[in-house]
Structure 1
Amino acid sequence: MTSNISDAGAVPLGLETPQELAAPAGSKTWRIRFGSLLIPLAHAAGQNVVTVLGLRFMTDSLAISAGAAGLIFALVKIYDGFLDPAIGAWSDRAMTRWGRRLPFLFAGGLAMPLGLALLFGAPDFGSILLAQVFVTLALAIHASGYTLLTIPGFAMVVESSSDPHERTRLMAWRTYGNAIGTLIGSTLPAWLLGMTGPTRGGHLLLAVVVGVVVFMATLLAVRMLRDAPRTQPRVSVAAVRRNPLSALGHQVKLAWDNRPFRILAIAHVFLLFGTAIGSAALAYFTRIVLGLGDEVLGTYFMMATVMMVLGMTVWVWLSGRVGKKACYMGALALFGLVQLSWLLASPGESMVLVGVRGLASGFAGGGMILCAYALLSDAVRYDYVQSGERREGAFAGFTTLFDKLSSAAALAAMGVFLGAMGYVPSASGQAAQQGERAVMAIMLCESAVPALAMLGAIVALCFYKLDPAQLEALEIGQDAKA
């Protein structure tokens, strides 16, 4: 029975027995890998520009208080976080002529750029309350687009191969894409602001440029992935059409009962909390503490991204020798040390020292991303071994849920902390004069807080015991039964 979505006479995808399609060879393999790269490129570009500059734009260009801005981010992230499992379950059950995942990807490629344009193109309402409502709506649209891109994209990688080594390679391609997207979403906007100044027009320009990249990358990815291998769930037509979210509560329990996944999720929360607060704080840190322009911020992220890409081969090699868990813990430790080193920085910091930190941070970041998602893919396959069911989309939704909740906590905590320490907002695009307590809060958000979060992730990983060799043997047996 064929499941080729281009075959008009095929039984609709999602109605077959849950067999896994054979991986294509040759040029199709490269198209799948390249498509797997483009999806994280798109969502990383769209997400990083908001993570790095969104909070500062709200406080220094829209005159929204730091505490209110942080709470807006938190509310939107929480909304979007609880949307994640629903989208994951929906994509698991969706039946279209293009398959289960691709329509969601395309919708995300439209929504994310729209949210960017609305956020950074926010008009001057003459009212702080109206500005807060408007940016909340813009962030909700942007975050929904992020969900529509990340969950089906991750699910497609997990279901595309039963070989854990090939999944690691695909995760490496995703990490390359994430690195390029990070470069586009953090370095390019900062450089543009360095040229135009932190004006309203400059912010709208960067939103349009990044939005075009997000849409075009998504469009190309959909085309590249249209023939990618897929798994099919055991589900009836009536169940799909009646209520695609009916099993969501049951799936939440199943995800929590998956011990390897649960441990990795806890570590992931610490990881995302630390990296989100560090990225957001750096935009304030370089301007206020170091007295440097936005072009320095862009250069830092550029060097970090370059090293993330160059170091990926090293992390793939190391993960094959010492294991993904050990590499993950080592990358977390290195990232924490880099963040702590900012405590030694002073106004007018040398670009050499800034660059060294960028290189070390990028190398560690590549290892964290690669190993985190490679291990998570193993944990999702463990669910298949235990249950015989295909729930890649649901688990991808839960993974993104933890991402959103941790990012929400980070930005909310940072905003409230800055507000409590006396951070003064502005409507000029430039930072107002800040007191010593506010400066100290920025320094802690850039150094000690991310380092402690990495330590928390390392402690959580000590309890992770899933053996890759045993998983592979069990998975072969489950495939034979299917």
Structure 2
Amino acid sequence: MKRKALIGWGVGSFTSAALVGAVGLLHLRFMTDSLGLAMGMAGLLVVASKIYDAAIDPVVGVLADRTRTRWGRHRPYLVGGALLAAVSLVMLFNVPTGLSYTGLLVWSGASLLIFSTAYTLYRIPYLAIGRAITQDFHERSRLMTFSVYGSSFGGLAATAAAPWMLSLMGGDRAAHGLLAMVLAGLVALGGIATFLLIDATSEGHAATTPHITFRQAAAAIAANRPFRALIAFKVTMFAGLTLHGAALPFYTRHVLHAADKSLGSIFLLQTLGMMASQAGWVRIAGRIGRRQALMLAALAEAAAMCAWYLVPAGHPMPWALVLGGVEGLCVGGLFFGLYTVLTDTMDHARHHGPASAEGVLAGVFVMVEKGTAAFGTWVFSAILSAVGFVSAHDAGSVQSAGVVNGIVLSLSVLPAVAAVLACLFLRAPAQGQAETAGIPQPPAVVDQDAALNTALPTAMVAGAVAMVMTLALSSSPARADAARPGAPPSPPPAISAPATPVPANGVTIPRISAGVDGKSYLDTVTLPRAPGSDPLAINARLYTTDTEIGVSPPGTFIDWHRVSSPRLLIVLSGTLEVGLGDGSVHRLQPGTIVLANDTVGQGHTSRSVGSVPVMAMTVRLPREDPLRSRASSCPDGVAPEQCVANSLSIQHNPQPVPKP
């Protein structure tokens, strides 16, 4: 096995993982929170694109097997598919401004279809090449570890570095577009590098193989029992994984109230866990077999997903980070097992089929991946729609108790049940069946007793089922406030007008500022005491530039933004919710005065919550020295003798005026 083919296989996995990771993690939330599309409609667009994607997978697989070029059957698709995928990635997150609601739907739907086509053109030929690179049992295990390494780095770029960069660039709609351009460049370079590193020799001189017909392709699938079992496992397992992955960004924002930076940290630790686990999974597969190792990884992932049910919302760290790393260890075994068992089933097709059908099997393998991803996404969007999730376009981010319950269960118990059920399709075959099926096994597995081979998965499945049922009947700390029927979740901390007398040295009010890291945070500032004012009264007399009074209807949302100049924000009526870059969310009640001074950095978000419109007054201050005090309370241009403030008769605790 050539070293450059080994590296090329890893680079190819990086490219596909970066693609699916970025879109799967960010695009649904981008459509709801940045474009303002309703959750049900956004989920429908994703599901429709994945159904289309799944439908064309077997067709692309057959076409790839029938392709004849001097570069081999499958290699040309690596470049073409990657370049088209890069273009589609830019389109997905760079939506033209000024589009109507219908225009947003059309653009988003068309971009998803182009992305689906590009991903299929790249992913299926890439998987088909894997079987031809090597047929040795141990070399193939080593090859698949490079695939997981590539997937890990791709996932790192898409799900850890991307949220971190997104938060650094402001997290708004424009930041999503810029981030997409960066990822698109990585995807294009990855496809070109894979083409160059995996040459025609690595593809196994496939250009001389006979053409395969669609009937032969169907016959090859029907005759391949190990492949059918693998597909049944993958359908069930990936339905749960997709549900789990779709729920995680909503869980961190709406249940834990954590910033996107924490989401990136979770995926970073998950990626590191995937990479660190590979040597261990190779040893496990060598001792108990690839199929048993795949089942063990699935059950371990079920346990890890259940553990999210127990994360306390008030203090999620470090528990959320630890679970991210543990899930990485489990997912590393899942992908290692899936890829190795897939190439083993390709060997079976080679020995029992009428023609070479690597592309056909890869097409079906990817088809069910996308089909179940569509199903999992649809289930999640349907659950949130049923429990009353409200998108940014419609209302505020404080969700009901039912929404919190739906997110928590979608993240933990429901996908764990799917993982346990998936293992039932990988029950051990009868003694000797694995060898006759054409799946290579290490000597230690071939000599195992059949009873032990059956008892091990049965015991693991029974234990996992018991654990899932126990958690399903218990109460989750993350939804403790939602445990009572009809009880709303705990609202963000409220900032209201001070009820106690102001301090003698000046008026103290909350202030929104930007830290050295560009994140906004909340502290307090004491306004300077007006010179020459009544010694028994507290006056703050500032220079201002202009004043604005605005009324926002319920549900108005403004994404991440900073102020162009410092200003005093006074809430007159209604409730205004402000989200800060440090992950905290605060509510401004009527009578509240806040100094918004985050003129640099990420800024903050604002949202009108409740059923009452928010009326607020904005008093803009000079950008330079905004808290500079005025010497006089008389308006500019008014003579002192004409200034009413100079002739006021102020009395403290005056004696009552006698009645006549």
Tell me which amino acid in the other structure corresponds to 2:347.
R
1:137-182: CA deviations, max 9, x gaps? 1111112121122111111111222223322221111111111111
2:310 aligned residue = 344
1:257-298: CA deviations, max 9, x gaps? 311100100101112111112111101000110010000000
CA distance in 1, matches of 2:150, 2:359: 20
Query: Of the two, which has the highest radius of gyration?
Result: 2
Contact in 2 for aligned 1:308/1:364 (Cα 8 Å)? yes
Deviates most, 188-197 or 459-468: 459-468
Q: Point out the structure with the larger strand share.
A: 2
2:411 aligned residue = 446
How far has the Cα of 1:472 moved from its partner? Answer: 6.3
1:437 aligned residue = 402
How far has the Cα of 1:469 moved from its partner? Answer: 8.3
CA distance in 2, matches of 1:202, 1:472: 48
1:214 aligned residue = 187
Deviates most, 252-261 or 95-104: 252-261
- 1:441 and 1:231, CA in 2 relative to 1: closer, same or farther beyond 3 A? farther
User: Equivalent residue of 2:438, what SS?
Assistant: helix
Q: Are residues 1:275 and 2:249 paired?
A: no
Tell me which amino acid in the other structure corresponds to 1:426.
A
Contact in 1 for aligned 2:73/2:206 (Cα 8 Å)? no
2:630 aligned residue = none
1:235-273: CA deviations, max 9, x gaps? 66xxx6xxx8xx225413431331110010010111211
Contact in 2 for aligned 1:93/1:235 (Cα 8 Å)? no
1:397 aligned residue = 363
2:423 aligned residue = 458
1:20 aligned residue = none
1:329 aligned residue = 295
Contact in 1 for aligned 2:50/2:373 (Cα 8 Å)? yes
Deviates most, 123-132 or 140-149: 123-132
From 225, 248, 254, give the equivalent of 1:288. Answer: 254
How far has the Cα of 1:464 moved from its partner? Answer: 5.3
How far has the Cα of 1:350 moved from its partner? Answer: 3.6
CA distance in 1, matches of 2:425, 2:205: 31
1:425-476: CA deviations, max 9, x gaps? 1249x972211111211111111121011012111111656525873689xx
Contact in 1 for aligned 2:389/2:403 (Cα 8 Å)? yes
1:265 aligned residue = 231
User: Equivalent residue of 2:95, what SS?
Assistant: coil
Contact in 1 for aligned 2:308/2:320 (Cα 8 Å)? no
How far has the Cα of 1:196 moved from its partner? Answer: 2.5
Contact in 2 for aligned 1:88/1:396 (Cα 8 Å)? yes
1:230 aligned residue = 204
1:375-414 maps to which residues of 2 (within 5 A)? 375-387=341-353, 389-414=355-380
1:71-100: CA deviations, max 9, x gaps? 211111111111111111111111112111
Q: Point out the structure with the larger helix share.
A: 1
CA distance in 1, matches of 2:216, 2:377: 30
CA distance in 1, matches of 2:440, 2:183: 44
Tell me which amino acid in the other structure corresponds to 1:117.
V
1:360-371 maps to which residues of 2 (within 5 A)? 360-371=326-337
2:594 aligned residue = none
How far has the Cα of 1:133 moved from its partner? Answer: 1.4
1:1-400 maps to which residues of 2 (within 5 A)? 23=1, 29-226=2-199, 227-232=201-206, 247-387=213-353, 389-400=355-366
From 431, 438, 444, give the equivalent of 1:471. Answer: 438
Tell me which amino acid in the other structure corresponds to 2:277.
G
Larger relative CO (CA 8 A, sep 6+): 1 or 2?
A: 1
What percentage of residue pairs aligned between the two structures are identical?
Answer: 30
User: Equivalent residue of 1:162, what SS?
Assistant: coil
Deviates most, 375-384 or 121-130: 121-130
How far has the Cα of 1:125 moved from its partner? Answer: 4.0
CA distance in 2, matches of 1:442, 1:303: 22
Tell me which amino acid in the other structure corresponds to 1:201.
A
Q: Normalising by the residue count of structure 1, what TM-score does the alignment of the two structures yield?
A: 0.87
1:10-50: CA deviations, max 9, x gaps? xxxxxxxxxxxxx5xxxxx1100000001110010011011
1:479 aligned residue = none
Aligned residues: 438
Deviates most, 432-441 or 463-472: 463-472
1:162-217: CA deviations, max 9, x gaps? 22332222111111111111111111111012223330111112211111111111
1:309-343: CA deviations, max 9, x gaps? 01100001110011112211111111111111111
- 1:231 and 1:71, CA in 2 relative to 1: closer, same or farther beyond 3 A? farther
Tell me which amino acid in the other structure corresponds to 2:404.
V
CA distance in 2, matches of 1:305, 1:399: 23
How far has the Cα of 1:408 moved from its partner? Answer: 0.6
Tell me which amino acid in the other structure corresponds to 1:258.
N
How far has the Cα of 1:234 moved from its partner? Answer: 6.8
CA distance in 2, matches of 1:268, 1:472: 18
Deviates most, 284-293 or 345-354: 345-354
User: Equivalent residue of 2:130, what SS?
Assistant: helix
CA distance in 1, matches of 2:421, 2:264: 29
CA distance in 2, matches of 1:144, 1:230: 26
How far has the Cα of 1:69 moved from its partner? Answer: 1.4
CA distance in 1, matches of 2:255, 2:426: 34
User: Equivalent residue of 1:351, what SS?
Assistant: coil
Contact in 1 for aligned 2:309/2:408 (Cα 8 Å)? yes
Tell me which amino acid in the other structure corresponds to 1:97.
R
User: Equivalent residue of 1:64, what SS?
Assistant: coil
Contact in 2 for aligned 1:115/1:141 (Cα 8 Å)? yes
CA distance in 2, matches of 1:209, 1:286: 25
Tell me which amino acid in the other structure corresponds to 2:29.
R
- 1:125 and 1:277, CA in 2 relative to 1: closer, same or farther beyond 3 A? farther
